[in-house]
Structure 1
Amino acid sequence: MANFSLLLGALAYCGSPPVPGALTWTLDPWLVLAWGSLTALHLSHLAAGRPRRLALAGYGIALLAFVSPLCNLGVALFSARVAQHVVLILIAAPLIAAATLPERGRRAPVGVGPLVLACGFFTAFLWAWHMPGPYDATFFSDLVYWAMHLSLFGSATVLWRLLMAGGVRQPAMLVTGLIAGFQMSLLGSILAFADRPFFAVHAATTAPWGLTPLDDQAIGGLIMWVPAGLLSVGVALYALGAHLRRLEAAEPDAPVVPLAPAAYVQNGPMTVGKVSNMATARNSDALISPQ
């Protein structure tokens, strides 16, 4: 096991499996340069103001997830790696997606097909990278490591972008959002309630943190399960609110009923006969009135 830990430390992108009090930052200058260039390029294509602030926040949070001690802790703990994924998928990705939205009046309608494809790719990537073989492989190859992160982060950003688009039909958005949240919750529950650890790479790295590999895996499952459930609830509430606003906007204004004249109130609807009788009575009053 000691030799395995040494091998892991030599090959893992985020460094050696840490022990308490020895967490390190992963300050890769090439990563910082590449990520900074990508951020600057994207910002140059966004309008000044809110879109740029959202994008800058999203890229900044993602960079922190890659270089902060969370990355290093993920070498030792599966739960920390899951937390890193949650930060990328549920915080950084929606911020960047929101920054790319055009003005509300200029948003093109989104069909059901792109939603299904985006949700399908995101689901496939999420489940594939949390299978034992592909997951363990990310610790022994930088190429595989970045393939995992970029596919998860990219597919999540595209999915968020489509879910936020104003032209998407609300039922389709609701169903897609619920499916995305449900499949994350399902994967999290499987990990949380498993009766054995799945990931050999963490067999000898969790003990310094007072956890067994199974305990660590269960915590990781909960970290994935709970935020995904909140995602489902949030999407459902957003879709419901948008649906209610649409119904309110489509509801015609109540017709304005003019006040009835006194003659109408006293005598009821006016007819030709009633008008003639009222004229005759008025003439009679004029004839008998004193001069």
Structure 2
Amino acid sequence: MTRAHSSPAGAVLTAPERAEPGRSGPAELWPLAAGLLLLALLWFGPLPERARGSFAAHMVMHMGVVAVAAPLLAVGVARAMPRLVSSFPPALAIVASALEFVAVWTWHAPALHDAARMDPTFFVLEQASFLAAGVLVWATAVGAPGDGRVAARAAGVCALLITSMHMVLLGGLLLFAPRPLYACAEVCSPAAALTPLGDQQLGGALMLVIGGSAYLAGGLALLSSVLRDRAPTGETA
């Protein structure tokens, strides 16, 4: 498979197919360690405090969780527990993409987003749901090392491309909204030199570019593997 270097998501998607099932040494589990390290930086660094007053900073954290940390963790889990991941039915990838759609759009509803910006409990719930949904989508799409089930990978392609589309749609809505959509834009202090609307537009652009491109690159990389390794006619996946 040709490596997809346009995003971290596309790059790591090829990794599970090169690993040997049942042989996940410490060196092969680096994506899991990298994902956990990134989560620690995102959640325990300066971003959470910054995100209280900046929609764009909040979006950086969101995209870091679902578009970078989640695929790294999914690859690590697939290598560490290949039997578990290979037991996932193909339809689970589509269900996972629907769950992520619900999580992302629900937490960007004005009331819940404002609550997550201002209340630590809601913030934890929001971030936990983003991570759980993101890892589930990527894990079901990536599959286990050496898993040649075409149906499972084809479902993963659909899941990633659907997720890319709704990320672009929501990012566009935030980018082109004529006014701030969140009360927190007026209550919190926005990023320096940005109006509340400008801050929201920057956040929307980040979701559109990072979220949309990460899932698109992942879907295209997975599609490449399906086309390369598709089963002969008459063979069941």
TM-score range, shorter chain: 0.7 to 0.9
Indicate yes or no: 2:27 matched with 1:59.
Answer: no
| Equivalent residue for 2:199, pick from 197, 200, 216 | 216
Report which stretch shifted further, 144-153 or 202-211.
202-211
One of 176, 184, 188 as aligned partner of 2:167: 184
Q: Which residue of 2 aligns with 1:92?
A: 69
SS in 2 for 1:209: coil
Match of 1:30 in 2: none
Larger Rg: 1
> After alignment, is 238-247 or 73-82 more displaced?
238-247
Match of 1:120 in 2: 98
Paired with 1:171 and 1:182, the residues of 2 have a C-alpha distance of 17
- The two structures have a TM-score, normalised by structure 2, of 0.78
Of 112, 119, 128, which aligns to 1:134?
112
Q: What corresponds to 1:24 in structure 2?
A: none
**Superposition deviation, residue 206 in structure 1:** 4.5
Identity %: 26
Deviation at 1:148, TM superposition (A): 0.4
Deviations 1:221-240 (A, max 9, x none): 00000112312431342133
Deviation at 1:175, TM superposition (A): 1.5
Counterpart mapping for 1:1-291 below 5 A = 47-102=24-79, 108=86, 110-165=88-143, 166=147, 167=149, 169=151, 170-206=153-189, 209-247=192-230, 250=232
**Local SS of the residue matching 2:78:** coil
Name the CA distance, whole Å, in 1 between partners of 2:36 and 2:150: 26
Where relative contact order (Cα < 8 A, 6+ residues apart) is larger, the structure is 2
| Distance in 1 separating the partners of 2:60 and 2:126 | 14
C-alpha separation in 2, matches of 1:207 and 1:59: 29
CA contact (8 A) 2:51 2:58 kept: yes
- TM-score normalised according to structure 1 size: 0.64
Could you report, residue by residue, the CA deviation over 1:162-190 in whole angstroms, capped at 9, with x for unpaired residues?
A: 01013352432222111011101100000
Residue 71 of structure 1, CA deviation: 1.8
Q: Is the 8 A contact 1:188 1:223 kept in 2?
A: yes
Query: CA 1:208 to 1:186, structure 2 compared with 1: closer, same or farther past 3 Å?
Result: closer
CA contact (8 A) 1:51 1:100 kept: no
Q: 1:208 to 1:53 in 2, by over 3 A?
A: closer
Tell me by how many angstroms 1:52 deviates.
3.1
Unpaired runs of at least 5, structure 2: 1-22
**Structure 1: stretches of 5+ with no match in the other structure:** 1-45, 252-291
Q: 1:239 to 1:96 in 2, by over 3 A?
A: closer
1:32 alignment counterpart: none
Report Cα offsets for 1:148-171 as digits up to 9, x if no partner.
000111110111100101335243
CA distance in structure 1 between the aligned counterparts of 2:69 and 2:107, rounded to whole angstroms:
19
